Amino acid sequence: MARSSPQIEAAYRLAHERYQSIGVNTDKALTALARIPIALHCWQGDDVGGFEHLEESSGQSLGGGLAVTGHYPGKARNPTELRADIDKTLLLIPGKHRLNLHACYGEYGGMKVDRDEIEASHFHNWIAWAKEKGLGLDFNPTCFAHRHAADGFTLSHADKSIRQFWVEHCRRSREIGAAFGRTLGTPCVTNVWVPDGFKDTPADRTGPRERLAGALDEVFKTPLSQEHNLDAVEPKLFGIGAESCTVGSAEFYLGYCITRNKLLCLDAGHYHPTETISDKISSVLLYLPEILLHVSRGVRWDSDHVVTLSDDLLGIAREIIAADYGSRIHIGLDYFDASINRIAAWTIGMRNMIKALLIALLEPPAIRERELCGDSTARLMLQEEAKSMPFGSVWDWYCQSQGVPIGVAWLDEVRIYEEAVMGKRF
């Protein structure tokens, strides 16, 4: 628990006045901020490993065009360790958030349970833990790191029996999502991403896309209450080994979502490097009631670097605030970095996402007003001057009032935990 400091409060009072003078109420901004949940991605905690192979010496390699680099020591080796690491992380982040699970993080008690056999009971411990903490859960089928995904195709596979295997996996994943939603009283966003694609020029691009659309229709055949489960699908430009044609492209899924009323997942790393998802949000929200964001940071490619407080992130946050952030946009993080302490990786990304939302909430209304008047000169001046407003004092105050460490202090807590807990994992 952070100690309260009179300096932090005094700085906040001054910042409050400064913001008031430009028409911004910092107290209101913080109330709004506290209502925006962000889904922490469980897979940063163990390099997208999961727990299917706990009893075996080695699992399937990650595959699916995903790559985690680095060998930082102390990775969680089992669900208990992963939950402990998430507990620690959540103590360093202001606000109430969610946890995003992948299907491969089920607990099977030493039994071999294949992906087409998973059930909510395998997530019993996660549900109990989430309930105790008051956390919502989101979910993802795991359509990679499996013998039936080894040739790079899953739901669009030419072999009907393999396609069916993945349909069953995804179908069960939605049921698990609905069980999460029912038990926890907050809808679970279940997001389907498949790696399917061609390393080299395909002779037929239509067939795989028809098969993917057909398979998804089967996955979503049974209607589930939107109070319990929300279906999302995630496009991608390319992955390693799927450079020439990725079946689930942006156009494929935009059309799919509009015609089937599904949530579109915009991942910040899944487009051409000069494109930003911040420019896509307002367009897709014209045609879709709700969307999911995978906030990530691509460096040259979909490299899944830890989210930093970049212009891209600020652009995303601004669009979230401009839209009806309360209900239409679900925010999740998606990256995996094994080169630094994994709890620090989570904490840096989460704190940055929240900071970016705060900066967007503190933006002076005059920026929009000047634009409406056609005064681009004043708009640019205001946008630039807003950057040196004392948002840091508002952020520190928010951390203090939420009982989490202020400024750099959180790393000391990670170091203590690293020494006492993570350092003992070999």
Burial, 348: exposed, middle or buried (Cβ in 10 Å; 0-12, 13-18, 19+)? buried
Give the range of 9-17, 99-107, 299-307, 331-339 binding Zn ion by CB under 5 A: 331-339
Structure tokens at 244: 């020439």
Contact between 126 and ligand RNT by CB under 6 A: the answer reads: no
Structure tokens at 371: 């634009």
Active site residue 43: no
If the CB atoms of residues 197 and 315 are measured against ligand RNT, the closer one turns out to be 197
Contact between 418 and ligand RNT by CB under 6 A: the answer reads: no
Query: Looking only at Cα atoms, what is the longest distance across the chain?
Result: 68
Contact between 43 and ligand RNT by CB under 6 A: the answer reads: yes
Active site residue 193: yes
Strand residues in 268-413 grouped as ranges (E): 291-295, 297-299, 301-305, 329-333
Residue 231 binding: pick among ligand RNT, Zn ion, none (C-beta 5-8 Å cut-off by kind): none
Residue 377 CB, nearest approach to ligand RNT (Å) = 40
Contact between 302 and ligand RNT by CB under 6 A: the answer reads: yes
Contact between 294 and Zn ion by CB under 5 A: the answer reads: yes
Residue 314 CB, nearest approach to ligand RNT (Å) = 21
Would you give the DSSP letter of residue 399?
H
Among 51, 129, 153, 193, binds ligand RNT (CB under 6 A): 193
Among 83, 294, 355, 370, binds ligand RNT (CB under 6 A): 294
Contact between 236 and ligand RNT by CB under 6 A: the answer reads: yes
Q: Exactly one of 157, 228, 236, 280 is catalytic; which is it?
A: 236
- 63 close to 242: Cβ distance less than 8 angstroms: no
Vertex 183, ends 326 and 265: CA angle to 5°?
45
Residue 115 binding: pick among Zn ion, ligand RNT, none (C-beta 5-8 Å cut-off by kind): none
Q: Exactly one of 304, 312, 319, 363 is catalytic; which is it?
A: 304
Residue 22 CB, nearest approach to ligand RNT (Å) = 38
How many CB atoms lie under 10 A from the CB of residue 67? 16
Full 3-state SS string of 50-90: CCCCCCCCCCCCCCCCCCCCCCCCCCCCCHHHHHHHHHHHH
CA-CA distance, 256 to 178, in Å (whole number)?
21
- Identify the helix (H) or strand (E) that includes residue 121: none
Among 107, 138, 312, 334, binds Zn ion (CB under 5 A): 334
Taking alpha carbons only, the member of 301, 181, 296, 277 closest to residue 229 is 181
Taking alpha carbons only, the member of 356, 255, 248 closest to residue 297 is 356
Active site residue 304: yes
If the CB atoms of residues 123 and 193 are measured against ligand RNT, the closer one turns out to be 193
If the CB atoms of residues 98 and 294 are measured against ligand RNT, the closer one turns out to be 294
Among 231, 234, 319, 337, binds ligand RNT (CB under 6 A): 234
Contact between 267 and ligand RNT by CB under 6 A: the answer reads: yes
Active site residue 267: yes
Active site residue 294: yes
Active site residue 334: yes
Q: Exactly one of 41, 97, 270, 330 is catalytic; which is it?
A: 270
Taking alpha carbons only, the member of 358, 382, 383 closest to residue 32 is 358
CA-CA distance, 42 to 335, in Å (whole number)?
10
First CA to last CA across the chain, in angstroms? 30
Strand partners, 245: 198
Catalytic machinery residues:
193, 234, 236, 267, 270, 294, 302, 304, 334
**Residues in touch with ligand RNT (CB under 6 A):** 43, 48, 66, 140, 193, 234, 236, 267, 294, 302, 334
Interface ranges with Zn ion (CB under 5 A) = 267, 294, 334
